[in-house]
Every structure is written in C-alpha cells, then in structure tokens.
Amino acid sequence: ITIRQATINDIQAMQNANLHNLPENYQLKYYMYHILSWPQASFVATTYDTIDEDDVFDEEVENPKGDTAYINKGEKIVAYVLGKMEDDPDAEDKTPHGHITSLSVMRTYRRLGLAEKLMRQSLYAMCESFGAKYVSLHVRLSNRAALHLYRDSLSFENTSIEKSYYQDGEDAYAMKKVLELEE
Ligand code: ACO
C-alpha cells in the first residue's frame, strides 16, 4: 500500500470511497476545489488489484475478497484524507488553520494504521506548505473508532459540542490540534 498526494485523477475514486464509508457526501466539484486550492493537503492510500485487467479501467468492480474496489488504471484507492485551509472570510478566527473535511478507509483495510498515516501527512503539509497554526475537524459523538484515532493516536482535543451538526440530528465534537514544525 502506497500513500501519495491526491490528484484530480483521484477525485472520482475518493468520492466513491466516501459514499461507501460515510453519510456525509460531497459533490465532485467540492473534491476538485480541495485538490486545486490546496494540492498538498489531501492524500490517498492505494494498492494494485490482482483481478482480471479487462475489468479494471476506471470502473467500480467487485474484487474477489468481496470488498468494493475503486479502480483508476489498475490502481485502487483504499483510503483518503481530504484536507483544506479555512478560507471562509467570515470565520471568527483569522489565524491560518487547516480543516479535515473527510477521512475514510475501506473496511477491509482498517486497523492497519492507514488513517493515522494519512492524517499525519496532511497535518504536516498544512503546517509546512500553508503555515497552518492548528487544524480542526468535526466528528460524531458516536464514532468510537474516529474518536480514538483523533484523541488517543493524534492528540486532538475537544473544543466544543456542536448541537445537531449532522443532517440526522446527531451532535458533533469540534476537535482541534495545534501544529508545530519539528526542528
Ligand atoms: N476501535 C477503537 N479504536 C480504533 C478503531 C476501532 N474500531 N479504529 C481505529 N482506532 C484508533 C486506535 O486508537 C488506533 O490505534 P491502534 O491500532 O494503535 O490501537 C488508531 O485509531 C489508528 O488506527 P488506524 O489503523 O490508523 O485507523 P483506520 O485506518 O482503521 O481508520 C477510521 C480509522 C478512518 C475511523 C476508519 O474506521 C473509517 O474509515 N471509519 C468510517 C469513516 C469514518 O468514520 N471517518 C471519520 C469521520 S470524521 C471526519 O471525516 C473528519
């Protein structure tokens, strides 16, 4: 499994993975906006599939293990992180800071450390390329796996609870991590 920066050619596969893994979904143009505006901030984890080559060009196919593969010229995306810098002119805090829009890992590739690696790459790039002083994100109160990842593995802190943040009415933790470039 390889981790690399996401490109415009990956956005369809990233959207497919997102649709599989999360109820918060976005239009393709929103992925494009991320990649074009902050190309260093989004990453994908990819692997090559061993199934019949005839099937693998830019199509969604079932792989023999039964999970759904997302194919991009034989390379499939098994995880992604979509990151951005805060660019809302009305945002209260004018300190440059990053935001994790979405993170997910296909089911059969979980607990391998991919999410943590993707997050660390994105956080480093936000700090290094865009001078982000901190990074923020939202996560469902019920999302145990993601909460463990953010709080325990990556040392994010809860800043507040945003009531009914999600469309189904669930509350979100707003979380934040201060970024510092290591010497
Ligand atoms: N239960 C408890 N802790 C977990 C779990 C779990 N099921 N999964 C991950 N963790 C924690 C652990 O602390 C783990 O460290 P450890 O393995 O040393 O104990 C740490 O996270 C790192 O685990 P990774 O292997 O890097 O995480 P993974 O690649 O499995 O991805 C993720 C975690 C992204 C939450 C995955 O389960 C997933 O895709 N879930 C569905 C989508 C989702 O919830 N995305 C996040 C939404 S919030 C947002 O997008 C801003």
The minimum-distance atom of ligand 1 relative to the CA of 110 is 30
Note the pLDDT of residue 164. 97
What is the full per-residue pLDDT of the chain (183 aa) written as tens digits? 999 999 999 999 999 999 999 999 999 999 999 999 999 999 999 998 765 555 444 445 555 444 554 555 678 999 999 999 999 988 888 899 999 999 999 999 999 999 999 999 999 999 999 999 999 999 999 999 999 999 999 999 999 999 999 999 999 999 999 998 765
The minimum-distance atom of ligand 1 relative to the CA of 119 is 26
Note the pLDDT of residue 8. 96
pTM here is: 0.90
- If you measure from the C-alpha of residue 118 to the centroid of ligand 1, how many angstroms do you get, rounded to a whole number? 11
Note the pLDDT of residue 93. 87
Pocket of ligand 1 (CB under 6 A): 21-22, 100, 102-105, 110-116, 137-139, 143-146, 148-149, 152-153
Residue nearest to atom 51 of ligand 1 (CA): 102
Note the pLDDT of residue 56. 46
Note the pLDDT of residue 96. 96
- If you measure from the C-alpha of residue 10 to the centroid of ligand 1, how many angstroms do you get, rounded to a whole number? 22
- If you measure from the C-alpha of residue 121 to the centroid of ligand 1, how many angstroms do you get, rounded to a whole number? 16
Note the pLDDT of residue 75. 87
What is the 3 state secondary structure string of the chain?
CEEEECCHHHHHHHHHHHHHHCCCCCCHHHHHHHHHHCCCCCEEEEEECCCCHHHCCCCEEECCCCCEEEEECCEEEEEEEEEEECCCCCCCCCCCEEEEEEEEECHHHCCCCHHHHHHHHHHHHHHHHHCCCEEEEEEECCCHHHHHHHHHHCCCEEEEEECCCCCCCCCEEEEEEECCCCC
Note the pLDDT of residue 71. 55
Note the pLDDT of residue 60. 52
- If you measure from the C-alpha of residue 112 to the centroid of ligand 1, how many angstroms do you get, rounded to a whole number? 9
